[in-house]
Structure 1
Amino acid sequence: MEKYGREVRKCRLDSGFTLVALAARVQSNKSQLSRVELGQMSPSSALREALDSVVGGGRLGRLWAEVMGDGRPEWLGEIAAAMRAAHAVYDYQALTFPSYLQTEGYAFALIRSALPGMSKEELDVRLAERLKRVEQMRMSDRPMIWVVVDSSVLRRRYGGASATAEQIDYVIQLGESGRITLQVVPEDLPEHPGNSGGFRVLTMPDGRDMAYVESPEHGQILTSVGTVCRRRALFASLQAAAAAPGQSLALLRDELDRIRT
């Protein structure tokens, strides 16, 4: 958003518009346009189209597609960029391992089952995008990652036994290397603090935290202080309820042995 905002400002100045004058042309206001230029606000599609038409000459549309993920839903590009920039990530998942930790067979099965009817070409593109993010995360020292998963994640055989075994083995390697800290919530917990579903909290370089919740068709980034604090408290409760990291890796090894025997 900051990169896009800088380009909006450059296009505006190059075209000789003041904030007030441009806001009038694109049916916005000075305050809103200023926040866009500072990267503090995500512009609506209507505002983006108007800006590109009045001062962008196509440049702004191409830049938005580039920074937000080649025409994919905007929230996907925004959270992917935030993940790359974050200092720390606190992630709870109830159904699958997080996408940035997935192996090829596991990811393929999830993408195919979530979007039935997808063409082979589109499936290949989506899979390649996900595996690229997986490799980037594996090779990078940042962000620091804490993951809590429900114990049922270990027993779900996405892609079959072989793909699941490969996935669990990969997560064990990441945990043993110190790249991630993983904890497993036991299945017999009487009151589960994660029953509301998966979520992610990101600590950003500027000191701000954001939370992220996702469904198959929609992603929502939450930035209000109260909402993010509640998610951080919920994650702390999950960590307290989960098995310790060493015990959790032992649970993964036990499940891996169970699959392979």
Structure 2
Amino acid sequence: MPGRKDLDPSSNPRALIGAELRHAREKAGLSQEACGEPLFVSGSYIGAMENGTRRIPVDIAIQLDKMLGTGDFFERNCGAANQSKYPDHFAEAADAEAVAERIKEYAPLLIPGLLQTEAYAREMFRGGRPTETDATIDKLVEARLDRTHLLEDPTKPMVWAILDEAVLRREVGGPEVMAEALGHIAALIRRRRVIVQVLPFSEGAHVATEGSLKLMFFDEAPTLVYLQALGTGRLEDDPASVARYELTYDLLGASALSPQESLALIESVAEDYAHEDQEP
């Protein structure tokens, strides 16, 4: 496609590249399903790349250039657009999180990244990366706090978190850090910025005993599910899998304390940490 210039990575590159993909696909007379078939991806995956909720992997970009006659446009621009300050296994999930309309997350062990304070995030990274330099930890904390800016908007995205009681009881960084971290969550709840429920220890085994879960919803794209394990993670958009994970989340919510009861517990545990920190 002669005459094309590289896109400016400072101006929401995924959305711009997605718009170019839609234009090139429609110009070639292909539906999303027909475009995805030779790439072994679904039509909904093509749609998600077009509206910017999913990245275009470089290997797919190369095939798109060949199929749509766009020279090396997608290969060149997707390489730059896919650069991220986040680990490879989380980079695409972070991109999706930034444009989601609603986020539902179950956290079994740690406070979710969007709800963390600086001190809590720092202690978490220090514990998980004991041999890293202070400079590396600083960069990780900065990237984590950048994500929390999503909550500066008064209404979007809607965030609903279910926290296992272990999240409240696991003492990350000591009583002072925990008192601040739980107080921060309580303040977000009282501002009606987030919905939080606590899944109490008394529930015993439950439908998500084996791991964490994040659902991300969009106005014009399929729901994405992010599943994370030690040092790895993956996004899923298969409708059957998404439906199963949505049911899992609904069952967790039914088993958890009500939002009002959860707030009372969070504030009570925060107060306990504060008193513990003040003891001589």
TM category, shorter: 0.7 to 0.9
Alignment pair present for 1:133 and 2:147 = yes
Give 1:4's aligned amino acid. I
Are the structure 2 counterparts of residues 156 and 230 from structure 1 closer, same or farther at C-alpha, using a change threshold of 3 Å? same
Q: Secondary structure at the match of 1:243?
A: coil
Q: Quick check: 1:95–1:152 contact (8 Å CA) kept in 2? A: yes
Q: Any idea what the Cα deviations from partners look like across 1:102-131, whole Å, max 9, x if unmatched? A: 000100011122223222222111111111
Q: How does 1:233-252 map to 2 (within 5 A)?
A: 233-252=247-266
Give 1:125's aligned amino acid. K
Gap regions ≥5 residues in structure 2: 1-13, 30-35, 66-70, 276-280
Structure-1 separation of matches of 2:142 and 2:257? 33
Alignment pair present for 1:64 and 2:85 = no
Are the structure 2 counterparts of residues 218 and 168 from structure 1 closer, same or farther at C-alpha, using a change threshold of 3 Å? same
Alignment pair present for 1:183 and 2:193 = no
Pick the aligned partner of 1:215 from 226, 229, 235.
229
Give the deviation of 1:209 after TM superposition: 1.5
Alignment identity in percent?
22
Structure-1 separation of matches of 2:40 and 2:207? 41
Give the deviation of 1:229 after TM superposition: 0.9
Q: Any idea what the Cα deviations from partners look like across 1:66-107, whole Å, max 9, x if unmatched? A: xxx14741x422211211221211110000111011000100
Give the deviation of 1:33 after TM superposition: 10
Aligned residues: 246
Gap regions ≥5 residues in structure 1: 20-28
Structure-1 separation of matches of 2:193 and 2:93? 20
Indicate the residue corresponding to 2:107 in structure 1: 93
Indicate the residue corresponding to 1:120 in structure 2: 134
Pick the aligned partner of 2:72 from 25, 37, 55.
55
Structure-1 separation of matches of 2:78 and 2:163? 40
State the 4+ residue runs in structure 1 displaced beyond 3 angstroms: 1-10, 33-38, 40-51, 56-60
Pick the aligned partner of 1:168 from 173, 176, 182.
182
Structure-2 separation of matches of 1:96 and 1:211? 19
Q: TM-score, normalised by structure 2?
A: 0.76
Give the deviation of 1:259 after TM superposition: 1.0
Q: Secondary structure at the match of 2:224?
A: strand
Indicate the residue corresponding to 1:199 in structure 2: 213
Q: Secondary structure at the match of 1:89?
A: strand
Q: Any idea what the Cα deviations from partners look like across 1:124-143, whole Å, max 9, x if unmatched? A: 11111111111232335211
Give the deviation of 1:60 after TM superposition: 4.0
Structure-2 separation of matches of 1:2 and 1:153? 36
Indicate the residue corresponding to 1:4 in structure 2: 17
Are the structure 2 counterparts of residues 123 and 192 from structure 1 closer, same or farther at C-alpha, using a change threshold of 3 Å? same
Give 2:39's aligned amino acid. Q
Give the deviation of 1:189 after TM superposition: 1.3
Structure-2 separation of matches of 1:93 and 1:182? 11
Structure-1 separation of matches of 2:85 and 2:263? 37
Q: Quick check: 2:196–2:263 contact (8 Å CA) kept in 1? A: yes
Structure-2 separation of matches of 1:141 and 1:47? 35
Indicate the residue corresponding to 1:25 in structure 2: none
Are the structure 2 counterparts of residues 89 and 100 from structure 1 closer, same or farther at C-alpha, using a change threshold of 3 Å? same
